A and B are shown apart, each in its own frame.
Chain A
Amino acid sequence: MDQFTTTIGQPNLTSILFFFVFITVTMFITYYAAKRTKTTADFYAAGGGISGFQNGLALAGDYMSAASFLGIAGLVSLKGYDGLIYSIGFLVGWPIIMFLIAEPLRNLGKYTFADVVAYRLSQKPIRIAASVGSLMTVCFYLIAQMVGSGSLIHMVFGLQYEIAIVFVGAVMICYVLFGGMLATTWVQIIKAVLLLGGATVLVLMVLYRFDMNPVHLFAAAQAKYGDKVLAPGQLVSNPWDAMSLGLALMFGTAGLPHILMRFYTVPDAKAARKSVFVATGFIAFFYILTFIIGFGAMTLVGQDVISGMDKGGNMAALLLAEVTGGTMFLGFIAAVAFATILAVVSGLTLAGATTLSHDLYVNVFRGGRAAEQEEVRVAKIATLCLGVVAVALGLAFKGQNVAFMVGLAFAIAASANFPALVLSIMWRRFSTLGAVFSIVTGTTLAVVLIVISPTVWVDILKNPTAIFPLKNPALISMTGAFFAGWLGSVIKRDERAESLYAEQKVRNYLGVSVE
């Protein structure tokens, strides 16, 4: 295969056209959604009127970020099999959500997972602690997405980083501020269909050159780069590291606020379960596609070209689109990647705004008593503030290595959010002090340990050796959070909470209040 010159980085007419169509369509949807978004239930949960299948697509849309599309395809193109190990980690949390979390979340909560944790415990301390866990997860995830989007748009369209960030922020604020959950959901659905469709076409165009047989593609990669691309490499070498990352990915997925709040957008438990099944299927399909796209790029584009454009390999999928389908197809895939960024940051911003207004403002500052219109107004102000903060963070972290922040977001979700959620559902003796201990310990350990881990201490702060040996802290921070939850509950029992457990459990299973 000859070296080819790419047009990536130059303004692409198809791309601008597709992107313009996407913005127009989603803005129309936002306009219609705005007319139907009046109450808090509308703003936070689209009035519970999303179907199971639609919510499944939206969940998949929330989860399949541009980072996972471009990043994993790039990882596969440069490292081969290791990319698959990475994507498997991101998938296996979904069954856990289904088996352990979906049912109680649906039956005990209203808009956020803090509703469930605070169900029988003291509202104020729990809401404050849970908000900290939630907001930190959202913010770290948001920084990673914003910085990634700025560099991506800069690289693909040649647009200046700052302009790209401000543009992403402005469009995202429009969706969430005016259209609430309804608009956000439809943006996710459209984006998920475009991404899955685009990736499928890309895979078909690659496989067309290999007799529609992936094994022939792998064989071509093997012939070009040796057996090592089909075998596990350096990604998993230390078993403790691997276990820790595995825990973070598996249980972190079950603690991501923007994913958990989607369970309230469907009318009943049946639809909620169906949506997890649909989401898991689409995400699984998507990761299989990215694996083939990665090998396609490795074989048809070549590793030196890919790493020549971007060391992390982030341009692999786009280069492959150009090689197989020309500039027009490149334009389409680039527009899809842009749409993906917009959709993911919108979902995160909505989750953060819901925490600020529903958990902090209404349940802490107003003691649970706030008028419907007042809460909607506060949620909108929170959206605007969070949007501005996201843009500011995106600008502040320009050029920084923020890849670790996704791992950190998952570690906090697995350590601060997941243990408190599970203990409050399953353990009668779990007390207010225990919950606060658990969330504070989980958050603190996750943040402190990642700073002194090889990920930050050595790779970013350039110290010779790390103080904490594991790259991801979940193994310690999650265990620590469970232990602190137990300790706090033993130190100070909560008689009222224990007496309410029976009622909570009945509702957890039957979905109705009996009193």
Chain B
Amino acid sequence: MKKDPDAILNSPEFKALVARQWAVSAVLSIIMLGAYFGFILVLAFNKAVLGTMLTEGLSLGIPVGLFVILLAWGLTGIYVFWANDKFDSAVNAIRQSLRRD
């Protein structure tokens, strides 16, 4: 298969693939960064909030921390689910069309 990389780069299919991959990666990264640094900033500026007791033996900080941990896992799960299905089929479609040319 011999093809000019610039031509592929400028093809609408490839551009759409890149744009979608970027959108998914960027949104998920921003959610993660926002959640983690948000958590850190609350700790730095108003840590008393996280020490609020919800019930005996449970402060607000514990479910919040657990949420950040589960969010990190959940976001990687969303990415894998999207990439192994949608992204890979788009990649395969472009590869197929390159082979045909």
Residue of A nearest to B50 (CB): A232
Q: In the complex, A273→B1 CA distance in Å?
A: 27
Judge whether B91 and A231 touch: CB under 8 Å.
Answer: no
**Residues of A in contact, count (CB < 8 Å):** 58
Are A231 and B50 also in contact (CB < 8 A) when A96-B29, A218-B58 are? yes
Judge whether A215 and B80 touch: CB under 8 Å.
Answer: no
A448 within 8 A of B: no
Q: In the complex, A92→B67 CA distance in Å?
A: 12
Residue of B nearest to A268 (CB): B88
Judge whether B3 and A236 touch: CB under 8 Å.
Answer: no
Q: Which of A230, A236, A277 has the most CB of B within 10 A?
A: A230
Residue of B nearest to A237 (CB): B44
A403 within 8 A of B: no
Interface readout for A194-233 with B: 1 if CB under 8 Å, 0 if not?
0000000000000000000001111111100001101110
Q: Which residues of B contact A236 (CB under 8 A)?
A: 40, 43-44, 47
A141 within 8 A of B: no
Judge whether B76 and A242 touch: CB under 8 Å.
Answer: no
Q: In the complex, A222→B53 CA distance in Å?
A: 11
Interface readout for A85-129 with B: 1 if CB under 8 Å, 0 if not?
101110110111011100100000000000000000000000000
Residue of A nearest to B10 (CB): A502
Interface readout for A231-251 with B: 1 if CB under 8 Å, 0 if not?
110011111001100100010
Residue of A nearest to B9 (CB): A502
Minimum CB–CB distance for B15 against chain A, Å? 11
Judge whether A239 and B47 touch: CB under 8 Å.
Answer: no
Surface stretch bound by B, among A280-288, A384-392, A454-462: A280-288
Surface stretch bound by B, among A67-75, A368-376, A431-439, A507-515: A507-515
A270 within 8 A of B: yes
Q: Which residues of A contact B69 (CB under 8 A)?
A: 87-88, 91, 284, 287-288
Judge whether A95 and B91 touch: CB under 8 Å.
Answer: no
Cβ 8 A contact of B57, one of A103, A230, A235: A230
Judge whether B91 and A510 touch: CB under 8 Å.
Answer: yes
Q: In the complex, A215→B17 CA distance in Å?
A: 47
A274 within 8 A of B: yes
Q: In the complex, A396→B88 CA distance in Å?
A: 50
A478 within 8 A of B: no
Minimum CB–CB distance for A419 against chain B, Å? 16
Q: In the complex, A276→B77 CA distance in Å?
A: 9
Are A99 and B25 also in contact (CB < 8 A) when A284-B73, A514-B5, A514-B98 are? yes
Are A250 and B9 also in contact (CB < 8 A) when A230-B62, A239-B41, A288-B66 are? no
Minimum CB–CB distance for B101 against chain A, Å? 11
Q: In the complex, A246→B68 CA distance in Å?
A: 14
Q: Which residues of A contact B53 (CB under 8 A)?
A: 227, 230
- Could you tell me which residues of chain A, from 48 to 80, have a CB within 8 Å of some CB in chain B? none
Judge whether A514 and B8 touch: CB under 8 Å.
Answer: yes
A503 within 8 A of B: yes
Judge whether A511 and B37 touch: CB under 8 Å.
Answer: no
Judge whether A510 and B51 touch: CB under 8 Å.
Answer: no
- Could you tell me which residues of chain B, from 26 to 63, have a CB within 8 Å of some CB in chain A? 28-29, 32-33, 36-37, 39-41, 43-45, 47-48, 50-51, 53, 55-59, 61-62
Are A91 and B72 also in contact (CB < 8 A) when A274-B80, A288-B66, A506-B8 are? yes
Minimum CB–CB distance for B17 against chain A, Å? 6
Minimum CB–CB distance for B58 against chain A, Å? 5
Q: Which residues of B contact A88 (CB under 8 A)?
A: 36, 39, 65, 68-69
- Could you tell me which residues of chain A, from 487 to 515, have a CB within 8 Å of some CB in chain B? 502-503, 505-506, 509-512, 514-515
Q: In the complex, A230→B50 CA distance in Å?
A: 9
Q: In the complex, A231→B43 CA distance in Å?
A: 10
Cβ 8 A contact of A95, one of B18, B32, B84: B32
A486 within 8 A of B: no
Q: In the complex, A5→B75 CA distance in Å?
A: 46
Minimum CB–CB distance for B98 against chain A, Å? 7
Judge whether A242 and B50 touch: CB under 8 Å.
Answer: no
A152 within 8 A of B: no
Sample of 9 A–B contacts (CB below 8 Å): A84-B62, A95-B79, A218-B58, A236-B44, A237-B44, A269-B83, A274-B80, A505-B18, A510-B94
The 6 closest A-B pairs by CB, nearest first: A231-B51, A219-B57, A239-B44, A218-B57, A502-B5, A230-B59
Assuming A98-B76, A243-B40, A270-B88, what are 15 further A-B pairs, CB within 8 angstroms?
A87-B69, A92-B32, A98-B79, A99-B24, A99-B32, A103-B83, A219-B56, A221-B57, A231-B47, A236-B47, A242-B44, A274-B80, A277-B77, A509-B91, A514-B2
